[in-house]
Amino acid sequence: MYKALIADDDILVRMDLRSMIDWHKLGIELTDDAANGEEAVRLARETQPDLLLLDIEMPLMNGLEVIQRLKEDRFDGKIVVLSCHDDFDIVKEALKNGASEYLLKHMLKPDNLIAVLQTAIGDLEELHASRNEQMLIRHLTERGKPALREELLKELFAGVWRDREQAAEAASKLDLRLGFARYVVAAIEIDDMYRLRSTFAKSELNGLLKSVLDVIDATLPRTASIFGRVDEGVYGILVDYRPEESFMSVNNRIFETCETILDNIGKYLNIQASAGISRIGEGPAIADQLFMQAKLALEGKLYCGKSKVIHYSELDYDNGNPNLWLAEPENDRVRAILADTAKIDDYFNSIFSGLRLKPVKPVYIRQICLELLMFLNTVAKEYKLSYSEVFGFDYVPYDYVIGLETLEDIEGWFSAVCRRINGAFATRISNVDPRHIRLEIRRAIEYIDKNYGKEISLQEIADHCHLSRTYFSQIFCLEMKESFSDYLSRYRIERAKYLLMETDLKIYEVGAACGLPNYRYFTKLFKDLTGVSPGKFKGGTP
């Protein structure tokens, strides 16, 4: 329903207009009438009519003055001018100032009035439709700007934009001031994404990752930068600087910006992130190369650690291709340390300490990890250990291992896997589930597992368990169904069998590694418990 206001100083004209047609049938509701120009302006402001039937000649303020006043008020309704005289100069002036139609009072008939009103209503409908469309376009544009900017960023990083003027024009349409004369690309990556995927529901994680964009947006300069999500947990940033700004100033500023972003992500979202920074570039044609530099810089957290800002220029890898675990002799070393839990941490620490002193490209580290993972999987199959016993997963976690982000993470995970293999092996030797035996005996078994390569006396292990020799000996036999000395001998021989089968150690070396350095005693005990000599068991002679 449209609203209409009649403004005329002649009450008979106003009454005639009201009664001449069925206004409701046309979809029009009449408001209070105005008897002079000032009243017309006041009622128009109060009621905001869609249609104004306005007499030209009125007291206090004539029709032309009313039109001018409403024009200043940005009145957007349709004005139909009423006149007693066929004075086209006045009508022309009214139309020039915003009136849409005019009617002569002495020639006014219902058909004429209806025709004029229907024309005005049609114009109003077109105007409203146009405004709605403009509002929708503006709304979609405002809402879609982040998506359009993200799309432009991805195109820049994909090498689509090569011409500087065209790229700058595309950015300008999105209200961005990017000249590409001197700019830097940064990549922000959320740390421990594998853990976050298992911690949060998918919708929660998406919301969290979306909030990272808000943090970045609040930190970057409004018009001289562009950012967006380029992958799950990875965000790209391009910041434009003045051409006359020095290289040192640019690098300091982008470094500070990235540090602020990382600090705010930790402060407001309670997650950690790392940043990689490219070299300074000129022209959009190399944006893809700079983005690659930023991503390569992120790989540097393998050595630098998480929650750091790393510049591409900091990367300094050794060009050699390490072959730590790919050869059979190194596999033998790993098999040997699997039998001695005390050596596991020392072994991996020595390996990774060497890598920290002489870093190699991350791709080689990933290769090493996969080779070691495959080897440990082979060991697990040989001893019929389940994936969950060894890896903590129901499958071989290749993706998980590739996703480990620092040497510290990799070292810790593989050390834990080797300890689990050792523990599962020890459980099978004892034939007893440690969860079902007394705490004191469990401590004794763990002590034997860690120290079987050394001399262990009954008194020593009883002291370790804070028990007397006699009482320890009694409860050990009760829980394990064999004496302490028999268990220790059997445990050492089982470990010796493993080393004889899986390594190239000589027989006397195996005996010494298992706490039996006397060669004659070792071979006699081995034959007593297995029925064959160590040499025959190994398939050769010592």
Q: Which of 411, 430, 449 is the last residue of a domain?
A: 430
- Looking at the fold, whether 229 and 365 belong to one and the same domain comes out as no
- Looking at the fold, whether 466 and 521 belong to one and the same domain comes out as yes
Question: What residues form DSSP beta bridges with 226?
Answer: 238
Q: Which of 361, 395, 430 is the last residue of a domain?
A: 430
pLDDT attached to residue 542: 42
How do residues 21-75 score in pLDDT, each as one tens digit? 888 888 888 888 999 989 999 998 988 898 888 888 888 888 888 888 888 888 8
pLDDT attached to residue 208: 94
Give the amino acid at 146. Answer: P
Query: Do 194 and 392 meet the contact criterion of CB atoms below 8 Å apart?
Result: no
Average pLDDT for 418-440: 71
- Looking at the fold, whether 238 and 176 belong to one and the same domain comes out as yes
1 vs 406: which has the higher pLDDT: 406
**H-run or E-run covering 507:** helix 507-513
Q: Shortest CA distance to 317 belongs to which of 285, 275, 359, 355?
A: 359
CA geometry: angle 238, 239, 242, nearest 5 deg: 140
How do residues 75-125 score in pLDDT, each as one tens digit? 888 888 887 766 666 767 777 777 777 788 777 888 888 888 888 888 888
200 vs 430: which has the higher pLDDT: 200
pLDDT attached to residue 157: 94
Whether 493 is in a domain gets the answer yes
For residue 140, pLDDT beyond 60: no
Q: Shortest CA distance to 443 belongs to which of 417, 492, 479?
A: 479
How do residues 240-258 score in pLDDT, each as one tens digit? 999 999 999 999 999 999 9
- Looking at the fold, whether 174 and 275 belong to one and the same domain comes out as yes
Residue 413 structure tokens: 């995970």
Q: What DSSP state is assigned to residue 4?
A: E
Q: How far apart are CA 516 and CA 415, in angstroms?
A: 26
Q: Which residues contact 538 (CB under 8 A, 6 or more apart)?
A: 500, 501, 507
Q: Which residues contact 272 (CB under 8 A, 6 or more apart)?
A: 190, 191, 192, 262, 265, 266, 306, 307
Q: Which of 405, 430, 455 is the last residue of a domain?
A: 430
| Residue 255's CATH number | 3.30.70.270
Average pLDDT for 369-389: 80
- Looking at the fold, whether 172 and 301 belong to one and the same domain comes out as yes
From residue 6, alpha-carbon distances to 94, 103, 372 in Å are: 16, 13, 91
For residue 131, pLDDT beyond 50: yes
Q: How confident is the model at residue 132 (pLDDT cuts 50, 70, 90)?
A: low
- Looking at the fold, whether 473 and 518 belong to one and the same domain comes out as yes
| Residue 31's CATH number | 3.40.50.2300
Whether 139 is in a domain gets the answer no
pLDDT attached to residue 326: 44
Whether 147 is in a domain gets the answer no
For residue 319, pLDDT beyond 70: no
- Looking at the fold, whether 426 and 438 belong to one and the same domain comes out as no
- Give how many domains the chain has, as a whole number: 4
- Looking at the fold, whether 8 and 111 belong to one and the same domain comes out as yes
- Looking at the fold, whether 178 and 298 belong to one and the same domain comes out as yes
pLDDT attached to residue 378: 82
Q: How confident is the model at residue 329 (pLDDT cuts 50, 70, 90)?
A: very low
138 vs 469: which has the higher pLDDT: 469
Global confidence as pTM: 0.58
Q: How confident is the model at residue 541 (pLDDT cuts 50, 70, 90)?
A: very low
Whether 151 is in a domain gets the answer no
How do residues 259-281 score in pLDDT, each as one tens digit? 999 999 999 999 999 999 999 99
Burial 371-410 (b: 16+ CB within 10 A, else e): bbbebbbebbeeeebeeebbbeeeebbeebbeebbbbebb
Q: Which residues contact 6 (CB under 8 A, 6 or more apart)?
A: 14, 17, 18, 30, 33, 34, 53
Q: How far apart are CA 380 and CA 428, in angstroms?
A: 13
Whether 97 is in a domain gets the answer yes
Residue 516 structure tokens: 């039996």
Whether 150 is in a domain gets the answer no
For residue 174, pLDDT beyond 60: yes
Mean pLDDT rounded to a whole number for the chain: 85
Q: Which residues contact 290 (CB under 8 A, 6 or more apart)?
A: 183, 184, 185, 278, 279, 281
- Looking at the fold, whether 280 and 362 belong to one and the same domain comes out as no
Whether 263 is in a domain gets the answer yes
- Looking at the fold, whether 306 and 196 belong to one and the same domain comes out as yes
pLDDT attached to residue 344: 77
pLDDT attached to residue 325: 45
**H-run or E-run covering 188:** strand 183-190
What is the span of the domain harbouring residue 235?
Answer: 158-314
How do residues 492-523 score in pLDDT, each as one tens digit? 998 888 888 777 788 999 999 899 999 999 99
- Looking at the fold, whether 402 and 493 belong to one and the same domain comes out as no
Give the amino acid at 169. Answer: E
| Residue 507's CATH number | 1.10.10.60
Whether 186 is in a domain gets the answer yes
